Structure 1
Amino acid sequence: MLRRLTIRDFVIVDRLELDFGAGFGTLTGETGAGKSILLDALGLALGGRADAASVRTGRDKADITAEFDLPDEGPLAQLLEGFDIPLEEGLVLLRRVVEAGGRSRAWINGVPATLAQLRETGEYLADIHGQHAHHALLRQDAQRALVDAHAGARELAGEVAALYRAWLKMSQRRNEAERDSAAAERQREMLEWQLEEITQLAFDSREWDELNAEQSRLAHAASLIEGAEASLALLAEGEVTITAMLQSLNARVEAMAEIDPAVEEARELVAGAAIQADEALHAMRRYRDRLDLDPGRLAELDRRIGAIMDVARKHRVQPEDLPDLRARWADELAELTERADPARLAQLETEAHEAYLVAARKLSARRKPAAAALSREVTEAMQGLAMTGGCFEVALVADESGSANGLEQIEFRVAANPNQPLRSLAKVASGGELSRIGLAIQVMTSRESATPTLIFDEVDVGIGGGVAEIVGTMLSRLGRDRQVLCVTHLPQVAACADWQWRISKQQVDEGVISRVVELDDEERIEEVARMLGGVNITATTRSHAAEMLRRESV
């Protein structure tokens, strides 16, 4: 649940630290006092859209931090571990900073996070139902999303959409192959000829360095042999040689070492030099013996390098890039060959279609019981919302051709009064009816949600009287096993809450700021009385408010 919300310089809020309780709580106050602003701030912490207007006038940034409980284990903990975010002791801290220029930054448990990571984390923690959410219910995509969520089939619905797109792509490739077969054949023949030319070279990128190294060595063979002979003459094959001089020096120093041990270090160095000179002599002899002055081999290398250069220039690449060019052409040829085979593409298209149908049928099987349950639950809720005899239905209209949305179209239908035919919600519901039906749908779908905090922002607009009391009771029941927060202007709803805050505006030197007060029992009576009777509160109004609160607390 939401434990604490800290707000700095957000719209008309200067500084607030709010500690939230469990159960069902309401936020009340005069119109324009900033009740919804608190939820807007929370929405930012959960990954909502931000802009420069979020920053309090005259400040450089708005700063919002929301502190939630973290279950010991479960999908949220796994998600955070996947983000490499350390798990705090039973807490999740979401922070969002919006600068006056509009740029925003986010953190999760003190670790910088992307907006997408913040939003995905927030979806596990809280669900906000906005005051205009019932209007979204007129859209088929919103209706479909609600049913899929109620069915626990969001991931499956995404899989169906992906498989549908894959099927369409394969169908498109088959159609293109049938339409462009002549052009594809010409392109395929050109690629085959080019590949054959490169393949005949039998060339790989490693050979290029080896060829150049050998050519350079053979081209300078004469000077290399001359250098080897001169080195050998100095080492051992001339009149005065290094090895002979070192051997003589070694013998003299050894004799000195026998007389004076202090010469031992010099003796060891001279002996080492003599050994190294002898090894250098043998290495140089081996090198000289391997040197090849074969002019035929040099001509052969020149021809090989020339052939490789010709092909590289022809295709405007560096010689060492020819193997990569061959691999790319091979991939293109394979794709063209596949595209030139409509029968093979038709088979792949059939397989893609079958995979889509399997997933879509699974989705339909999940949607049917969820649609029936939601229809029954919302119909039951309507009876207590001044729509006695009304009926709600989630219609699954078969779509034989299928779409990215599955094998059916989803449509919410309603009959607001008895003996009326069911018709599309978008066509028959009045504003008040839409508000009540929308609230019933939101409450019913929230009952099945695993989200620990549910937030309703003036979803009770357009209702009143006994209906408002029933709405309050519905929200109170939701609050028995999770945290429910509701911004409301209805005293009947506020009276059903476990706790209540009053939001008000206050004029200060720097302008208008928002203030939040947690109400005790007496203050709740005053606030509910204000909501009942307006500015002039009478003893009768207070008595009525006290009775409402007493009745709902029983």
Structure 2
Amino acid sequence: MLEELEIRALGPIQQARIMLAPHAGMNAITGETGAGKSMLLNAIELISGAQSQPARVGVDADQSWVQAIFDVSGNDRVLQLADEAGSECEDDQLFITRTVPKSGRSRSVLNGRSVPRGVLKNMTSQLVTIHGQSEQLKIANAVKQREFLDSFAANSSARSAYSQAYTQYSALKEKLDKLRHAQSDAVAQIDYLRDAISRIETVDPHVGEDEELKAQRDYIESATEIALARGGALMALDASAGEADEPSVSELLARAIHALRSVEHIEKMGALVSRLEAASDEIQDIVYALSQDADDDISPQDLDTINERIHDLDELMKRWGPSLDDVLAWKEKAQFDLEDLDASPERIQELEKELEKSLEKAKDAARTLTATRVAAAEELGSRVTEELKSLAMEGSELHISVTSRDELDSFGADSVTFEFVPFPGSPRLPLGKSASGGELSRLMLALELVSFEKKHAREGDADENAPRGSVPTLIFDEIDAGVGGKAAAELGKRLALLARGAQIIVVTHLPQVAAWANKQFVVAKEKTRDGAYTTVTHVDKEERVAEIARMLSGSQSDMSLQHAAELIEECTLRIEG
């Protein structure tokens, strides 16, 4: 839900700050023609990721600046998108800022962090729906029509079941097509994989074996040097290892221990004896280890065998490495690939049977999905047609056709088309080719109203207790084109009804519409010596009565003021009732 909109140097608006009606409610934007009401819509489009227009930067400014603050409490999808963009929301508030310079690129900021313009589009698509001249045409798109119908049908479980079945069918079909159309390539690949797997299995490496062998080779290649060093160390440590004239370390330690035996009852001397005995034990362990190494039988044949093994492992790693871990991982994957590439007639026949079963399952799911759309299309078209009567479009009709087709795609086995009949006797025509801008606005209002009522009926009173951030923001522009009198009052009533479960912002010229609003803002052009600028003012009480009076008769006579006050009071009582 949009809480606040602030604008600086956008078109004729030097500075404006709009605090919108809290929670669900209706906000009316009024003002004389040419005052700059379109700039407010342009500001919301900018924070929604629309293309920037430097020509709209204020005359005396270097850049335009727009900021919107949204309450997103309870809106898990938006909170998740903000986290993914690295712009976490604090206190369930989302800040979107857009700066448009007169020259150069615009800058988009989400919660203080610069983000691509596409992030704003993705984010605000979950928060704001604009029913303006350009946005209205989107409902003429077949994809948008199908999405709207699915939302009305609340058929997410049927769509999910179909999506799973279709995904499985598509994967099997792709696998089978690959085998059928590339058997020769598959055979060559199979031969290669089998030879490679056989080669790896013949060598039969284990993880880390290459490093172990290289360590052994280094040891063997240094065998002579190691033997000499070991012999010298043994002679120095143990007299029994050689015929040296000098006493060994073991013998010297024995002498030292013997010399101290007589005084070991003295605590300090006893401690020294213990340390010497420990040193003697450690020396004996070292002598034993050196003696064991001396018993190793090292031959040139061992070195040849190790080098051959290292060579075999290096060959594997050159082809499927760079490490033995990679070689073994490649072999495991190759074994799975080999099963998938089995192009034998038996394997193809097996896949054909699987594909046939998968196709039938997908078709069953598609029929179920189509049934939900057909039922929803009949209800939606009938209810919108009835709603249009209250919006000065007596005789207009909305027809929604769901046409089955043989081919499956990601969204089912049918095509959804919204067709509009603007007056009795007119042929059904695609929505974008048969309705004017004002008619499209009112048609979108009727669609939103019927959808809201359907959702409210499904969820009962859940919406009344819903978090503020989960309330959608709907913006209507030029919805009152060609409407007047009783139909205008009914149009305002319908917007107020929709505002019970949504935040409504409507740009209107009709007092019968504005009088229903919970909050009203007046856009006015002020003239100064240096030119003109636009102000946006929240009006209430006497100021609002004066604005409604102006809208009623173009003046503020006693009669028009009285009429305006009565109109506001009547609408307020009906809203509260």
**Fold equivalence (TM over 0.5):** yes
Equivalent residue for 1:457? 476
Q: Report the Cα offset of residue 325 of structure 1.
A: 4.2
Equivalent residue for 1:197? 199
* Cα distance in structure 2, aligned partners of 1:302 and 1:78: 61
Q: Report the Cα offset of residue 471 of structure 1.
A: 1.2
C-alpha contact (below 8 Å) 1:80/1:87 kept by paired residues: no
Q: Which runs of 5+ in 2 are unaligned?
A: 456-462, 464-469
Name the SS for the 2:391 alignment partner: coil
Q: Counterpart of 1:204 in structure 2: which amino acid? A: H
C-alpha contact (below 8 Å) 2:99/2:106 kept by paired residues: yes
C-alpha contact (below 8 Å) 2:142/2:417 kept by paired residues: yes
Q: Counterpart of 2:145 in structure 1: which amino acid? A: Q
Q: Which moved more, 1:133-142 or 1:441-450?
A: 441-450
* Deviations 1:68-87 (CA, angstroms, capped at 9, x unpaired): 2625xx85698589869878
1:70 and 2:69 aligned: no
Q: Counterpart of 1:198 in structure 2: which amino acid? A: I
C-alpha contact (below 8 Å) 1:205/1:322 kept by paired residues: no
* Deviations 1:253-305 (CA, angstroms, capped at 9, x unpaired): 5656666x66677666545433432332223223333x221333323223323
Equivalent residue for 1:102? 106
- Correspondence for 1:499 among 519, 526, 529: 519
Q: For residues 505 and 420 of structure 1, do their structure 2 counterparts lie closer, same or farther at Cα, with a shift above 3 Å needed? A: closer
Equivalent residue for 1:218? 220
C-alpha contact (below 8 Å) 1:174/1:339 kept by paired residues: no
* Cα distance in structure 1, aligned partners of 2:251 and 2:534: 101
Name the SS for the 1:374 alignment partner: helix
- Correspondence for 1:472 among 492, 505, 510: 492
Q: Counterpart of 1:285 in structure 2: which amino acid? A: S
Q: Report the Cα offset of residue 203 of structure 1.
A: 1.9
Q: Write the mapping of 1:87-236 to structure 2, written as runs, cut at 5 A.
A: 91-96=92-97, 98=99, 100=101, 101-107=105-111, 122=124, 125-153=127-155, 157=159, 160=162, 164=166, 167-236=169-238
Equivalent residue for 2:310? 305
C-alpha contact (below 8 Å) 1:7/1:41 kept by paired residues: yes
Equivalent residue for 2:341? 336
* Cα distance in structure 1, aligned partners of 2:534 and 2:344: 66
* Cα distance in structure 2, aligned partners of 1:177 and 1:509: 80
Q: Which moved more, 1:181-190 or 1:471-480?
A: 181-190
Q: For residues 509 and 187 of structure 1, do their structure 2 counterparts lie closer, same or farther at Cα, with a shift above 3 Å needed? A: farther
Q: Report the Cα offset of residue 12 of structure 1.
A: 5.7
Equivalent residue for 1:388? 394
Equivalent residue for 1:526? 546
Q: Which moved more, 1:372-381 or 1:247-256?
A: 247-256
Q: Counterpart of 1:105 in structure 2: which amino acid? A: V
Q: Counterpart of 1:455 in structure 2: which amino acid? A: L
* Cα distance in structure 2, aligned partners of 1:389 and 1:319: 77
Q: Report the Cα offset of residue 494 of structure 1.
A: 0.9
Name the SS for the 2:392 alignment partner: coil
- Correspondence for 2:248 among 241, 244, 248: 241
C-alpha contact (below 8 Å) 1:126/1:452 kept by paired residues: no
Name the SS for the 1:387 alignment partner: coil
* Cα distance in structure 2, aligned partners of 1:518 and 1:165: 53
Equivalent residue for 2:283? 277
Q: Counterpart of 2:209 in structure 1: which amino acid? A: E
Q: Write the mapping of 1:323-472 to structure 2, written as runs, cut at 5 A.
A: 323-337=328-342, 341-418=347-424, 422-430=428-436, 432-448=438-454, 452-466=471-485, 467-472=487-492
Q: For residues 480 and 285 of structure 1, do their structure 2 counterparts lie closer, same or farther at Cα, with a shift above 3 Å needed? A: same
Q: Report the Cα offset of residue 207 of structure 1.
A: 1.8
Q: For residues 432 and 33 of structure 1, do their structure 2 counterparts lie closer, same or farther at Cα, with a shift above 3 Å needed? A: closer
Q: Report the Cα offset of residue 28 of structure 1.
A: 1.4
Equivalent residue for 1:548? 567
Name the SS for the 2:233 alignment partner: helix
What TM-score does the superposition give when structure 1 sets the normalisation length?
A: 0.83
RMSD: 3.9
* Cα distance in structure 2, aligned partners of 1:446 and 1:438: 12
Q: For residues 420 and 116 of structure 1, do their structure 2 counterparts lie closer, same or farther at Cα, with a shift above 3 Å needed? A: closer
Q: For residues 390 and 309 of structure 1, do their structure 2 counterparts lie closer, same or farther at Cα, with a shift above 3 Å needed? A: closer
Q: Counterpart of 1:353 in structure 2: which amino acid? A: L
* Cα distance in structure 1, aligned partners of 2:283 and 2:163: 77
* Deviations 1:90-144 (CA, angstroms, capped at 9, x unpaired): x43333354753342312xx79988787766655554443343332232222211
Name the SS for the 2:140 alignment partner: coil
C-alpha contact (below 8 Å) 2:546/2:561 kept by paired residues: yes
C-alpha contact (below 8 Å) 1:4/1:19 kept by paired residues: yes
Q: Report the Cα offset of residue 151 of structure 1.
A: 1.6
* Cα distance in structure 2, aligned partners of 1:416 and 1:487: 24
Q: Counterpart of 1:241 in structure 2: which amino acid? A: S
Equivalent residue for 2:4? 4
* Cα distance in structure 2, aligned partners of 1:271 and 1:329: 61
* Cα distance in structure 2, aligned partners of 1:455 and 1:67: 13
* Cα distance in structure 1, aligned partners of 2:408 and 2:218: 68
Q: For residues 464 and 388 of structure 1, do their structure 2 counterparts lie closer, same or farther at Cα, with a shift above 3 Å needed? A: closer
C-alpha contact (below 8 Å) 1:495/1:552 kept by paired residues: yes
* Cα distance in structure 2, aligned partners of 1:426 and 1:148: 20
- Correspondence for 1:486 among 506, 531, 555: 506
C-alpha contact (below 8 Å) 1:208/1:319 kept by paired residues: no
Q: Report the Cα offset of residue 472 of structure 1.
A: 0.8
Q: Which moved more, 1:5-14 or 1:298-307?
A: 5-14
1:18 and 2:37 aligned: no
Q: Counterpart of 2:109 in structure 1: which amino acid? A: R
Identity of aligned residues (%): 24
Q: For residues 414 and 307 of structure 1, do their structure 2 counterparts lie closer, same or farther at Cα, with a shift above 3 Å needed? A: closer
Q: Counterpart of 2:484 in structure 1: which amino acid? A: G
Q: For residues 331 and 528 of structure 1, do their structure 2 counterparts lie closer, same or farther at Cα, with a shift above 3 Å needed? A: same
Q: Which moved more, 1:388-397 or 1:538-547?
A: 538-547
Q: Counterpart of 1:248 in structure 2: which amino acid? A: R
* Cα distance in structure 2, aligned partners of 1:44 and 1:440: 26
* Cα distance in structure 2, aligned partners of 1:356 and 1:244: 89
Name the SS for the 1:438 alignment partner: helix
Q: Which runs of 5+ in 1 are unaligned?
A: none
